[in-house]
Structure 1
Amino acid sequence: MKNPKLAIYACLLLAATACGGSREQAEEPAEEPHDILYGIVADDYRTETGEVAPGETMGGILGRYGVSAAAVDRLDRAAREVFPLRNIRAGHKYTAFIHEDSLYAPHLDHLVYESSLTDYVVFSLCDDSVAVRRDTKPYTLRRTKKSATINSSLWGAIMEEELPYALAAELEDIYQWTVDFFGIQKGDRFTVIYDERFIDDTVSAGIGRVWGARFTQGGRDYYAIPFRQGGKVRYWEADGASLRKQMLKAPLKYSRISSRFTYARKHPIYKVYRPHTGVDYAAPKGTPVHAVADGVVTFKGWAGGGGNTLKIKHAGNLMTGYMHMSGYAKGIAKGSRVSQGQLIGYVGSTGASTGPHLDYRVWKNGKPIDPLKIPQEPAEPIAAENRELFEFVRGRILAELNGEVKEEERITQLDSLVLPATVAQNAAAE
């Protein structure tokens, strides 16, 4: 077959008509189809779409299309390692692909369930055989640059500017060691360059890589430049220092500070003034709590007024404490090694507490210190052998953040980067 495009369509046609191999349509010469849905050539099918109703099962849906209980059972066994039938959820869309035999009796060949906006599962029933496959809808990437000024919070600014919600979480992940998101002030602002995914060029389906950002807090600019070093893409400050630090700014997200470090706080329960050598983060019960740094669990258990408590020992004679938790993450025990960002427990209100919150404490050499004023040691900076290439990437990203650059001058990939000849020659001359 000389036409590559026609060859691809022919392969799709053979795959999609495998259920009805004896049908007359499959014996006709393959022609270029006009409609492909979920990788299935849909020209010869009648399609019906629906939405999973509350309490509805896949067996019930299939049964409505005439699929026998025995066939559903075979499909259930085949799907267990790919996508268990019990995992369908109310409100999700499905599409049925139906053909009619020579007597015009309808038969279900495929049922496609959309597990998310971008992902789907194809359940195929071919006479006595069944098959299950997972796939992703094709999408296009649209490079976008947006700026916003914060009036209340990062999430508030994201919603006000109608930006993708995932962008707020991505910025918090990138800047979690550097920007104090609990100290956001009105007038703080950010500019970010990112890829946004679109299905059918119209439906937004989340974001891809963040290609650069500038976050201004308290009049200071914090840049985020993506660069691959040591086999991983991470984000770096404009001077090549890592945005990653020894400790996270906070052990949880999406909360607020309800009480700060002090040696004279009136206790909300005992009504007497006593030291509160920690920071209270008010958050809903069950909010995930993460280790702020690598370390070893030295205490797990009930600590009187502190309720369910964890203590973790870190490098540099540092120790952190997490109190009033509702429970601990699976696998957390005394002696366990934990890594920075690892889930260790959940916010609660155990012990002497008036409501769900996390009491977070830090000690250095056994002495309590204010968690909000910990000197942050950066991780390994850009290596000397990567400096020239990093500066080239940084220059292009900063130019895009500060204005516009030609499309051909944008940084669009971070693998196997090579310095342009002019840049390399100038560097050699210097």
Structure 2
Amino acid sequence: MGEPKWGKSGLSWLGLPLGGLLAIVVAVASPWDEARIAPTALESTSLDPRATFESFGAAGVPEAAASTAEPAPNRAGELRRGQTLGGLLGELGLPATEVHAAAEATRRWLDLRQLRPGTRWAAYQTGEELRSFELALEARGSVRLSREAGQWTASFREYRRETRVRTIAGTLDGALETAIERAGGDPALAFAMADVLQWDLDFNRDLQPGDRFRILFEEIWIEGSYHGLGRVLGLTYGHESGRAWEAYRFGSDGFYDGEGRPLQKLFLRSPLTYSRVTSRFSNRRFHPVLKVFRPHHGVDYGAPTGTPVRVTASGTVTFAGWDGGGGRTVKVRHPNGYVTCYLHLSKFASGVSAGARVRQGDVVAYVGSTGLSTAPHLDYRVQHDGRWIDPLSLGGVPAEPLTRERLAEFRRVSAEMRDSLETGRPWAPAGAGATEPARMAAVPAAVARAGH
């Protein structure tokens, strides 16, 4: 059975940033039999996510569907910048007297003013005469224009959408996204893992060569082709030292460890998703600009200018402005006497000003090098009851625990997920994998991929 390929072209289509993430890394190794865990029963039809979109015509239609698909389009492409639907129809040979009527017929299904460059189209012609035209609307479906009895009519077909559940396993000996890719998953799972474990693992400094992971997750497939990641359902992550973490999604309540304790804590481990610690909390550090020894009451994270800075706990912004040597700075007051400070910023996020309420994980600013700074970085500081404390030593205060009734249900569901992670046996939440019967839709798969 074929599986999704995650080459550069596939990732650029998904719009996923790659490159320079997590300098710790990987090799998918044998102790866990990570070469590939067998796909679940939901993966009954696997197609290369790019094969159906690279070209139009017979080569663009999956072989399995060739017998049921209509003839390939004569011409196909993408809307150019500044090109209108009417202009395109004219280029395809539709008489000027019919262009307006044809474009107007689509208005029930789409707003012509919101068509974007890159939107896919396919034209079906008999000789030089345009007989029908298909326009893909992102992941929703396609609008078809057809000439019937001398009149242009439009119809809409919703794409067949399927959720598939998979399990992969790997070992770190390099970049996390590379380990995931070698295990057969989408490298974007690295970001998803960081989000799930952000309260317990700092992906900037806690990952180690030899760490092992297993991930149970959803993939979204549209018209038989891979479209992107769904939800992470569960995962395990372990150090060679024996320390391990478990995380299981439970309804809309979030993620919990193997004992049913909530993973969410009062503070995130880091205000940046990916970076490196360049200087730690110290009562006597040599200042790189002033050239003297003085206390450094924060942790410096090296990161490129413009990297989003997340507030590590929910609270109220008390200051957003220029603060001497700290340059552009944001200060946020939190419950229980805590204050967090973010220094040397390049700019503030929209809406961030004194008095604004922010939630844990909100982007409040962007990394810069303002004030007394020698290079782009974030100086992150924490006060508790007016006293500076080491941000890396913060203990986690858990969120609300599950009720006794919910805990019993969680234990049942998490046991099923744990079994799937360990054995690769199929598991899926209620409703996952539901789809129309596996068949090729009337529209060639080439048209299924819409504007990016």
Inter-CA distance 81–352: structure 2 relative to 1 (3 Å threshold): farther
Q: Which residue of 2 aligns with 1:250?
A: 270
Superposition TM-score, scaled by structure 1 size: 0.73
Inter-CA distance 123–301: structure 2 relative to 1 (3 Å threshold): farther
What secondary structure does 2:218 align onto? strand
Equivalent residues of 2:76, 2:123 under 8 A apart: no
Aligned positions of 1:136-285 closer than 5 A: 137-183=159-205, 184-199=207-222, 201=224, 203-217=225-239, 219-228=242-251, 232-285=252-305
Alignment counterpart, residue 362 of structure 1, candidates 382, 395, 398 = 382
Deviations 1:22-70 (A, max 9, x none): xxxxxxxxxxx9756xxxxx56x844222455x4634553441245597
1:353 aligns with 2:373: yes
Q: Which residue of 2 aligns with 1:377?
A: 397
Inter-CA distance 344–171: structure 2 relative to 1 (3 Å threshold): same
Equivalent residues of 2:102, 2:152 under 8 A apart: no
Equivalent residues of 1:82, 1:132 under 8 A apart: no
Deviations 1:319-372 (A, max 9, x none): 111112221111111101111112212222222222222211111111111111
Mean Cα displacement is larger for which, 135-144 or 237-246?
Answer: 135-144
Alignment counterpart, residue 333 of structure 1, candidates 327, 347, 353 = 353
Number of residue pairs matched by the alignment: 360
Mean Cα displacement is larger for which, 189-198 or 322-331?
Answer: 189-198
Q: Which residue of 2 aligns with 1:421?
A: none
- Deviation at residue 388 of structure 1 after TM alignment: 1.7
Equivalent residues of 1:312, 1:320 under 8 A apart: yes
For residues 206 and 171 of structure 1, the distance between their equivalents in structure 2, rounded to whole angstroms, comes to 15
Q: Which residue of 1 aligns with 2:92?
A: 65
Superposition TM-score, scaled by structure 2 size: 0.70
- Deviation at residue 208 of structure 1 after TM alignment: 2.3
Deviations 1:281-310 (A, max 9, x none): 222222222221110010010112211111
Equivalent residues of 1:306, 1:323 under 8 A apart: yes
Q: Which has the larger radius of gyration?
A: 1
For residues 56 and 177 of structure 1, the distance between their equivalents in structure 2, rounded to whole angstroms, comes to 46
What secondary structure does 1:225 align onto? strand
What secondary structure does 1:57 align onto? coil
For residues 377 and 145 of structure 2, the distance between their equivalents in structure 1, rounded to whole angstroms, comes to 49
What secondary structure does 2:250 align onto? strand
User: What do you get for the CA RMSD once the two structures are aligned?
Assistant: 3.3
Inter-CA distance 79–318: structure 2 relative to 1 (3 Å threshold): farther
Equivalent residues of 2:76, 2:122 under 8 A apart: yes
Inter-CA distance 237–79: structure 2 relative to 1 (3 Å threshold): same
Q: Which residue of 1 aligns with 2:12?
A: none
For residues 428 and 103 of structure 2, the distance between their equivalents in structure 1, rounded to whole angstroms, comes to 49
- Deviation at residue 413 of structure 1 after TM alignment: 2.2
Q: Which residue of 1 aligns with 2:122?
A: 96
> What is the letter of the counterpart of residue 116 of structure 2?
N
> What is the letter of the counterpart of residue 167 of structure 2?
K
Inter-CA distance 46–161: structure 2 relative to 1 (3 Å threshold): closer
Q: Percent identity?
A: 34
Equivalent residues of 1:78, 1:132 under 8 A apart: no
Point out which structure has higher relative CO (alpha carbons under 8 A, 6+ apart). 2
What secondary structure does 1:145 align onto? strand
> What is the letter of the counterpart of residue 187 of structure 2?
Y
Aligned positions of 1:271-310 closer than 5 A: 271-310=291-330
Q: Which residue of 2 aligns with 1:413?
A: 430
Normalized per residue, the structure richer in helix is: 1
Inter-CA distance 35–154: structure 2 relative to 1 (3 Å threshold): same
Q: Which residue of 2 aligns with 1:394?
A: 414
Normalized per residue, the structure richer in strand is: 1
Structure 2 residue runs of 5 or longer lacking an equivalent are 1-65, 433-452
What secondary structure does 1:332 align onto? coil
Inter-CA distance 186–346: structure 2 relative to 1 (3 Å threshold): same
1:122 aligns with 2:148: no
